Amino acid sequence: MGAVVAGLGTSFPPQADQDTLWRDYFEKHYTGAAQSLARRIFAHSGVRTRSAAVSPLLEDVSGWSTERRMRRYQVEAMPLGKEAVARALTESGVAADEIGLFAVCSCTGYATPGLDIMLARDMGMSPSVQRLFVGHMGCYAALPGLGAVSDFVAARGRPALLLCAELTSLHIQPPGARADTQQIVAHALFSDAAAAVVVRPGGRGYAVREVAAVTDTSTADHMTWEMTDLGFRMGLSPRVPNVLALHVRGLVDGLLGRHGLTVADVDGWAVHPGGPRILSTVEEQLALPPDALDASKATLAAHGNCSSPTVLLVLDALRSRPEPPRSIVMLAFGPGLTLYATLLGWDEAG
């Protein structure tokens, strides 16, 4: 019996308008040439609003130590994760103590005991629940996470739960006059969110048909997430879309071909909106219709790039349509450079 997505829940900290964030914080964060460049990047980010558990409009964390940021992570991530998990469990009809595996993905904070232990306790999961923490995989982590819980469900015949929770707002870097494009892009795009998915054996819902990946280690330096004394620092090369262009068509064609499908057979695309250039590259390489990535573009505009939860936010938007798609390809990208793809197919009965 295969693994089926039975419930999905999301949660967000308070939102802020992108223009307000620029005017009331980031415009003052940069000076000289950096300010001029940042103004253009913020204006063309594709982001309209985004969320921050620790808003720069209220607290400037850019000078905080990593220790202080990590302590705050646990405080803010717990209620965010709890809300997403509760919503996913409610929709699925699965009780917390029925969960056999609880997997948590996050690259923006670490603590022991962590979210997996504390949320399992607070949500009433069984003491025998198995736990898995996936750290530092970045924006694509939801898909290997989904693969892990789906494999558990298929092998054990028990429900599993995946939570992706990210607080990128804790990693704003110190200001400077030097025009560091990579940091400016990160500051313009990233946001906070949590998304949880309950997967069960069989039943009505989106069946997880396959999870596939390709990693180009020759471009490992194109995307980095380095621990520093002042939080985690993003490295984001402008060449990332070029690498995606080399691999995304082959990955998708291979995945679909193994199931007797082509790109034309897919009526739902949940593509991680890493930024406008990422989406335009995927659209071009897959020769998609102009409206195929509307859900991804709308997610970027409303929520920004929330790292690992983001592709699940796009999936939630697709399944909430008046006529949800029958087949969905999920795509997400991150350090490695790594591309992950997942095929979902609607199943009436399991």
Write down how long the chain is: 350
Residue 314, φ and ψ in degrees, nearest 5: -65, -40
CA atoms within 13 A on the CB side of 52: 22
User: In this structure, are residues 125 and 88 in contact, taking their beta carbons and an 8 Å threshold?
Assistant: no
Q: Which of 255, 261, 234 is nearest to 166 (CA)?
A: 234
What are 215's strand-pairing partners? 338
* 253-288 CB burial, b ≥16 within 10 A, e <16: eebbeeeebeeeebebbbbbbbbbbbbebbbebbeb
Do the Cβ atoms of 224 and 334 come closer than 8 Å? no
Whether 107 is catalytic: no
CA–CA separation, 251 vs 254, rounded Å? 5
107, 139, 164, 306: the catalytic one is 139
> Position of tokens 């929709």?
91
Interior CA angle at 268 toward 9 and 47, to 5°?
A: 65
Residue 187 CA: distances (Å) to CA of 48, 181, 190, 229, 243: 14, 10, 6, 18, 22
Cβ-proximal residues to 71 (8 Å cutoff; 6+ apart), any chain: 111
- 91 near 319, Cβ under 8 Å? no
d(CA 267, CA 282): 15
Query: Which residues are part of the catalytic machinery?
Result: 139
